[in-house]
């Protein structure tokens, strides 16, 4: 998997001035006050290559460009790049390129890709050595030194592919080979064609997709089966909630059309409960707060006017086995709901074998107790073995005192949002979660009770 090394954000929402952000290969933590620009940064990353088609994750200059500069930008006729991401190739991809084109053609393991507001992606810094490719081609095809010199005299693969050497059949065979491999497989760029070939065949298909999750993706307590079937946002149901509800049905392998037309719901509820049990078991690997919770489902039928067929509603409730009560999902344990919804939404990518995703988590565990946030941190660290993760927070319990090198602070200044390393930040309110994290980590525990006096004097 490619590693995101750096992201440059500019002229996107609160980012009026260009910001270059170095990212860790495992976990990067964005720390800042509310409205500082953390969410905007995660959104800009997601819009570069979102994991599924979603118009909410496409760049729109009218919606995304800084409002106080929008009219000036529109008059300028420019097509600006709000995000540029720099990635490092993995060794498997490098080995495949070297096997295909020969050693020395790929001169760097770093490339960049951006997205413009109007015209889409731009690729940078592939930097193939075309002369080396042509020399390697002689070894591969076995043509004469005379033909090699003629090829090299042209200087570029583009000029070779456009050349016409009449009766020189050996040279024509070389040209034909280049046309049917490099040229036909490339993007058709009017520049270095080997760069285009490498980008189209090896880099573009493997560009990591960004997976985004925030509190708005939490499952609702009740959701209309018709809304899921018709992909319709109704009542208080948000688009994100609808997407997560659809993911739940996909995970349970339930045919929504069949459910909508059925009069017997027992088999569907059984599928949902089996899926719920599986998810709950996963949660309890990282959920030490309360092990007495589970999710229950039932399907209600609500009468509609004018003799219409009753509306089918999926009712999702949380059961507390200790107290033997159930409550609507939205009224019970928001932290458990968050975790459950996270696993449901995560299921859309979890089964993919290549793990070619970067996870973007906006304020994860916002409603979790401090101890549960520690569990969530453990979960994030375990996930980072398979995925690169960027998450935002303003909770000291979501910051590891021995992981301050992972932290980037986000500060809303008169010049717009500014992102910097933790050690460079001066704003005391922005720094508070870091200082608190260090302070909590130094609390002395005696017989299971905090030694408050020692904490305060330290």
| Lookup result for tokens 């509820």 | 269
Average pLDDT of the residues of the chain: 88
pLDDT of residue 353: 72
39: number of Cβ within 10 Å:
21
Q: What is the pLDDT of residues 200-255, one digit of tens each?
A: 999 999 999 999 999 889 998 988 998 998 888 877 788 999 999 999 998 899 99
What is the chain's length?
Answer: 458
In 234-354, DSSP assigns E strands to 293-302, 311-320, 325-328
SS3 333: coil
Q: Give the per-residue pLDDT at 441.
A: 53
Q: How crowded is the C-beta side of 56, counted as CA atoms within 13 Å?
A: 9
Higher per-residue pLDDT: 17 or 404: 17
pLDDT of residue 324: 85
Please report the pLDDT score of residue 440 as a whole number: 59
**CA 137 remoteness from chain centre:** 39
Q: Assess whether pLDDT exceeds 70 at residue 446.
A: no
174: tokens are 């070389």
Domain ranges of the chain: 217-351
Query: Which pLDDT does position 423 carry in this prediction?
Result: 65
- Asked if the model's pLDDT at residue 455 lies above 60, the reply is no
Q: Return the exposure string of 14-27: e unless at least 16 CB atoms fall within 10 Å of the residue's CB, then b.
A: bbbeebebebbebb
pLDDT one-digit tens code per residue, 116-137: 999 889 999 888 998 999 999 9
Over its C-alpha atoms, the chain yields an Rg (Å, rounded) of 27
pLDDT at 298 over 80: yes
pLDDT at res. 291: 80
Q: Is the pLDDT of residue 420 over 50?
A: yes
* Residues 281, 290 contacting (CB under 8 angstroms): no
9-48 per-position pLDDT tens digit = 999 999 999 999 999 999 999 999 889 999 999 999 999 9
pLDDT band at 385 (very low <50, low <70, confident <90, very high): very high
pLDDT at res. 452: 38
422-427 mean pLDDT:
71
The model carries a pTM of 0.88
pLDDT at 442 over 70: no
Confidence of residue 450 (pLDDT cuts 50, 70, 90): very low
pLDDT tens digit sequence for 54-105: 999 999 999 999 999 999 999 999 999 999 999 999 999 999 999 999 999 9
Instruction: Kindly write down the DSSP assignment for every residue of 346-408, as one continuous string.
Output: HHHHHT-TT--EEEEEESTTTTS-HHHHHHHHHHHHHHTTTSEEEEEE--GGGS-GGGGGGEE
For 67, 76, 296, the CA distances from 72, given in Å and listed in that order, are 10, 6, 54
Q: Tell me the CA distances in angstroms from 354 to 88, 209, 212, 279, 381, one per residue in order.
A: 16, 11, 18, 22, 19
Per-residue model confidence (pLDDT) at position 444: 36
**CA–CA separation, 291 and 410 (whole Å):** 36
- Read off the pLDDT of residues 346-364 as tens digits, 9 standing for 90 and up: 988 887 777 799 999 999 9
Query: Is a pLDDT exceeding 80 seen at residue 424?
Result: no
Query: In 3-state terms, what secondary structure has residue 143?
Result: coil
- Contact present, 45 and 358 (Cβ < 8 Å): yes
């Amino acid at each position: 998997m490619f590693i995101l090394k750096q992201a440059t954000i500019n002229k996107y929402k609160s980012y009026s001035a260009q910001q270059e952000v170095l990212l860790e290969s495992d976990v990067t933590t964005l720390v800042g006050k509310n409205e500082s620009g953390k969410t905007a940064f995660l959104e800009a990353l997601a819009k570069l290559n979102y994991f599924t088609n979603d118009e909410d994750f496409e760049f729109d200059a009218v919606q995304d460009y800084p409002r106080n500069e929008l009219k000036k930008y529109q008059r300028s006729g420019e097509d600006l790049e709000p995000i540029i991401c720099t990635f490092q190739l993995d060794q498997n991809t490098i080995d495949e390129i070297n096997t295909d084109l020969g050693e020395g053609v790929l001169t760097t393991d770093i490339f960049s890709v951006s997205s413009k507001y109007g015209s889409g992606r731009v690729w940078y810094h592939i930097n193939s050595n075309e002369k080396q490719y042509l020399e390697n081609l002689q070894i591969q095809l076995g043509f004469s030194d005379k033909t090699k010199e003629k090829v090299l005299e042209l200087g570029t693969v583009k000029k070779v592919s456009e050349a016409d050497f009449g009766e020189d059949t050996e040279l024509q065979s070389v040209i034909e080979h280049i046309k049917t491999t490099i040229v036909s497989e490339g993007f058709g760029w009017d520049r270095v064609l080997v760069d285009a070939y490498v980008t189209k065949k090896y880099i573009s298909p493997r560009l990591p997709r960004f997976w985004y999750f925030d509190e708005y993706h939490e499952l609702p307590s009740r959701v209309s089966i018709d809304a899921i079937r018709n992909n319709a946002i109704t009542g208080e149901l948000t688009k994100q909630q609808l997407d997560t509800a659809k993911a739940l049905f996909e995970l349970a392998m339930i045919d929504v059309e069949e459910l909508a037309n059925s009069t017997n719901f027992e088999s569907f509820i059984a599928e949902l409960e089996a899926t719920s049990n599986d998810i709950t078991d996963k949660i309890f690997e990282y959920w030490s707060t309360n092990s007495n919770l589970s999710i229950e489902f039932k399907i209600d039928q609500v009468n509609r006017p004018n003799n219409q067929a009753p509306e089918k509603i999926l009712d999702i409730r949380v059961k507390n086995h200790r107290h033997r009560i159930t409550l609507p999902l939205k009224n019970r344990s928001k932290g458990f709901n968050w975790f459950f919804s996270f696993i449901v939404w995560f299921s859309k990518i979890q089964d993919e074998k290549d793990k070619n995703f970067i996870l973007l988590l906006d304020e994860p565990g916002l409603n979790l107790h401090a101890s549960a946030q520690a569990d969530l941190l453990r979960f994030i660290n375990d996930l980072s073995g398979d995925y690169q993760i960027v998450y935002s927070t303003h909770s000291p319990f979501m910051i590891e005192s021995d992981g301050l090198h992972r932290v980037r602070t986000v500060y809303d200044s008169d010049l717009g949002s500014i992102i910097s390393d933790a050690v460079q930040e001066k704003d005391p309110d922005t720094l508070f979660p870091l200082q608190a994290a260090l302070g909590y980590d130094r609390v002395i525990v005696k017989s299971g009770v905090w030694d408050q006096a020692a904490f305060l004097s330290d």
